[in-house]
Amino acid sequence: MNASAAPLIEVRGVSKRYPGVLALDNASLTVSPGEIVALTGENGSGKSTLSKIIGGAEQPDGGVVLVDGVETVIANPATALKLGIVMISQELTLAPQLTVAENVFMGRLPRKGRVIDWATIRRRAREELAALDVHVDVNAKVGDLSVELQQEVEIARAVSSKARLLILDEATSSLSEHATERLLELIREQAKRGVAVLMISHRMPELYSTAGRAAVLRDGKMVGTVPLPSTPESQLVRMMVGRELNDYYGSRDCVPGDVVLQVRDLASADGALAPTSFEVRSGEIVGIAGLVGSGKAQLGMALGGAIPATGEVKVNGAAVTLGDPRRALGAGIGLVPDDRKRAALLPTRSVAHNMTLTWLPKLSKFGVVPTRTEKRRVREAIAEYGVKTSSPAKLITQLSGGNQQKAILGRIFALGCPVYVLSEPTRGVDVGSKSQIYALLQKLTESGAAVVIISSELPELIGLADRVLVCFQGAVRGEVTGDQLQEEVLNAIAVSGHVHEEPS
């Protein structure tokens, strides 16, 4: 790492206050050319605020920002772009109706005289993408591409715009393991060429494989900067949460009991999931792994009745009507969908009303909600599931991602279903909340529930599940248990559909 070079960007003593919270408190940070710095901390620690200040989307209340050693006011994102500061976030900023080439050169289309030079655009877009080893038709509409390819086009645009500082804000959180690895490779390549990188991610392995330094924020204060990968993960986590987190995934003390969930030839109507059969016992956690598009997401949705499906699903021997979430819930299958924003949150409602939504049929008498009981239940659930909120009446969108997720999990867990299907239960959630969620899952199984967890994070599946089913091209291709539960084995099946050594 080129430590002697002058920092490309330096943030000195920056503070930012929002009504009611001090989001950043005298925080300082430097990033030098060619350096990859991980910006870490729990949700709400001020990571996004700091990256927004550097990206020109927010103005600091105190402190200064220096670019190339010169005090600079980054008044808006356009100014940041002119300085070579490019932000890549989880939410893509591509225009889905335009072609790949148009997107790569958006806002700076090369011209020949007064006319846009389409031939050059296509040729240069092809060159840029080839240089990054991205194989995609430059004439394809971006909206028709997979999320992974879209993310790579976004990176190509950033790189070709002569970025000097790349800010990655949770850029990998919607990508599969494989696509993430490719993206990180691109980032490392850029750093070698002298680009400075500031990355925010909740996935520890990513930070360890990519960053040279980790800056840790806690409650808006910069707690310290440690070298990576030499700093042990436990120490980094301790800095982030300010306390010890032992036994991250937790453990449970129970022997799987009777078969609770029986799935026979379950297939999604859209064909993304081919007929699949498996069983889950009481007290058992079964993981579902696979790449994006492998059918694992459809498996969860089909079990929860969220999408039309065929086949047979039985809970405690009783058949469940497929394709109807209300019937599935009634039969005792509690589903937590993977996309919190799209399919779980009621953004205009309070924490309390978000949580009681699912309890209403059980809670109400003759269609009337007993508000006193309701308030008490909400208070109990907020405490039991560790939702951090100043009041149950607060809008749910004002909570951090981790606390939103705990509220969403709480409303389903409080139902006491015999079967739970959880899709990406810790996506976009900080380490502290993650460990709380894992503990809740362990408790759930101890009380006899059968749990199916669908996740893109293999360490999570290995840490939690008794066995893992791996999906490949729309079907379950392998079941991995015991000593075989390793990332290499799961990855091999996920990528090729089989392992060379027999897994069981």
Q: Which of residues 319-348 bind other proteins (CB under 8 A)?
A: 325-326, 329-330, 335, 337, 342-348
Pick out residues in 298-317 that bind other proteins (CB under 8 A).
304, 306
Specify the stretch interacting with other proteins by CB under 8 A; choose among 4-12, 152-160, 425-433, 451-459: 425-433
165-169, strands of its sheet edge to edge: 85-89, 165-169, 196-200, 36-40, 213-218, 221-227
Query: Residues near 242 by Cβ (< 8 Å), separated by ≥ 6?
Result: 218
Write out the two tokens for 119: 């031939």
Write out the two tokens for 171: 């850029």
Give whole-number Cα distances, 172 to 207, 237, 459, in Å: 11, 20, 16
User: By CB under 8 A, is residue 107 in contact with other proteins?
Assistant: no
The least distance separating other proteins from the CB of residue 379, rounded to whole angstroms, comes to: 7
Give the residue, chosen from 442, 455, 456, 484, that forms a contact with other proteins under the rule CB under 8 A. 442
User: By CB under 8 A, is residue 353 in contact with other proteins?
Assistant: yes
Three-state DSSP class for residue 93: coil
Question: What's the CA gap between 354 and 359, in Å, rounded?
Answer: 10
Contact between residue 224 and residue 41 where contact means Cβ atoms under 8 Å apart: no
What is the bridge-based pairing of β-strands 62-67 and 70-71? antiparallel
User: By CB under 8 A, is residue 477 in contact with other proteins?
Assistant: no
The least distance separating other proteins from the CB of residue 377, rounded to whole angstroms, comes to: 14
From residue 180 to residue 199, the character string flagging contacts with other proteins as x (rule: CB under 8 A) and all else as - is --------------------
The least distance separating other proteins from the CB of residue 158, rounded to whole angstroms, comes to: 21
Give whole-number Cα distances, 121 to 105, 140, 156, 162, 344, in Å: 7, 14, 13, 16, 41
Question: What's the CA gap between 489 and 178, in Å, rounded?
Answer: 14
User: By CB under 8 A, is residue 376 in contact with other proteins?
Assistant: no
Give the residue, chosen from 229, 250, 275, 448, that forms a contact with other proteins under the rule CB under 8 A. 250
Give the residue, chosen from 397, 475, 487, 497, that forms a contact with other proteins under the rule CB under 8 A. 397
Give the residue, chosen from 391, 488, 502, 504, that forms a contact with other proteins under the rule CB under 8 A. 391
Specify the stretch interacting with other proteins by CB under 8 A; choose among 2-10, 59-67, 282-290, 386-394: 386-394
User: By CB under 8 A, is residue 247 in contact with other proteins?
Assistant: yes
The least distance separating other proteins from the CB of residue 304, rounded to whole angstroms, comes to: 7
User: By CB under 8 A, is residue 252 in contact with other proteins?
Assistant: yes
User: By CB under 8 A, is residue 114 in contact with other proteins?
Assistant: no
The least distance separating other proteins from the CB of residue 202, rounded to whole angstroms, comes to: 9
Give the residue, chosen from 48, 176, 262, 405, that forms a contact with other proteins under the rule CB under 8 A. 48
- Indicate the burial class of 171 (C-beta count within 10 angstroms; 0-12, 13-18, 19 or more): buried
The least distance separating other proteins from the CB of residue 399, rounded to whole angstroms, comes to: 6
From residue 227 to residue 246, the character string flagging contacts with other proteins as x (rule: CB under 8 A) and all else as - is ----------------xxxx
Contact between residue 400 and residue 390 where contact means Cβ atoms under 8 Å apart: no
Question: What's the CA gap between 232 and 457, in Å, rounded?
Answer: 20
Question: What's the CA gap between 431 and 203, in Å, rounded?
Answer: 9
Element (H, E) at 384: helix 371-384
Q: Residue 419: beta bridge partners?
A: 333, 450
Which one, 247 or 312, has the nearer CB to other proteins? 247
Give the residue, chosen from 332, 392, 425, 474, that forms a contact with other proteins under the rule CB under 8 A. 392
User: By CB under 8 A, is residue 47 in contact with other proteins?
Assistant: yes
Three-state DSSP class for residue 86: strand
Three-state DSSP class for residue 67: strand
Which one, 140 or 395, has the nearer CB to other proteins? 395
User: By CB under 8 A, is residue 423 in contact with other proteins?
Assistant: no
Which one, 141 or 443, has the nearer CB to other proteins? 443
Three-state DSSP class for residue 453: strand
The least distance separating other proteins from the CB of residue 172, rounded to whole angstroms, comes to: 14
Specify the stretch interacting with other proteins by CB under 8 A; choose among 76-84, 158-166, 312-320, 428-436: 428-436
Ordered DSSP codes for 256-310: --SEEEEEEEEEETTSSS--EEEEEETT-EEEEE--TTSSHHHHHHHHTTSS-EE
Q: Residue 476: beta bridge partners?
A: 471
Pick out residues in 145-174 that bind other proteins (CB under 8 A).
170
Pick out residues in 400-419 that bind other proteins (CB under 8 A).
400-401, 411
Which one, 284 or 430, has the nearer CB to other proteins? 430
The least distance separating other proteins from the CB of residue 287, rounded to whole angstroms, comes to: 19
Question: What's the CA gap between 151 and 89, in Å, rounded?
Answer: 9
User: By CB under 8 A, is residue 388 in contact with other proteins?
Assistant: yes
How many residues bind other proteins (CB under 8 A)? The answer is 74
The least distance separating other proteins from the CB of residue 496, rounded to whole angstroms, comes to: 34
Specify the stretch interacting with other proteins by CB under 8 A; choose among 184-192, 286-294, 383-391, 454-462: 383-391
| 202 HSE (CA, 13 A, CB side) | 25
